[in-house]
Amino acid sequence: MKIFHFQDIEKKDAEKSASKLSVRWLISKEMGAENFAMRLFEMEPKGYSPFHSHPWEHEVFILEGEGIVVGEGEERKFGPGNVIFIPANEKHQFKNDNKKKVKFLCLIPYTKEYLRTHGS
């Protein structure tokens, strides 16, 4: 068992094609998790993730703030307490269109494709 404070994990800038978005890998392979990763994202006002897809699903829980999740042909508002499921291969993007920071947890499985493209 491991227990730690989330602020003990280094905050890093997210992908290059994102803006004003940071991530902390709270639970990862490096700490012994074999099946899933848990990440904490923080998105500043006017921030966004890239519009992208990949062959693994996302499970997202919004902790703070409000914004928009963009899909192919649709945009939906989200806020604290909302749960978002994004299936594999579905294009998606998160945007913070408000004046407060957005914080959300995002869980992903360690699929063979993920490990092939991001290292094992």
Please give the torsion angle defined by the CA atoms of residues 25, 120, 3 and 85, in that order, rounded to the nearest 10 degrees: 50
Query: What local confidence, expressed as pLDDT, does residue 119 receive?
Result: 58
Angstrom distance (rounded) from CA 24 to CA 8 = 9
Those residues with Cβ within 8 angstroms of residue 7's Cβ, 6 or more apart along the chain or in another chain: none
pLDDT tens-place values along the chain, 120 residues long: 999 999 999 999 987 889 999 999 999 988 899 899 999 999 999 999 999 998 889 999 999 999 999 999 899 999 999 999 999 999 999 999 999 999 999 999 986 666 666 655
Those residues with Cβ within 8 angstroms of residue 115's Cβ, 6 or more apart along the chain or in another chain: none
Query: What local confidence, expressed as pLDDT, does residue 62 receive?
Result: 98
Which domains are assigned to the chain? Answer: 15-110 (2.60.120.10)
Query: What local confidence, expressed as pLDDT, does residue 15 receive?
Result: 78
Query: What local confidence, expressed as pLDDT, does residue 2 receive?
Result: 92
Query: What local confidence, expressed as pLDDT, does residue 71 receive?
Result: 94
Q: What is the CA radius of gyration of the chain?
A: 14
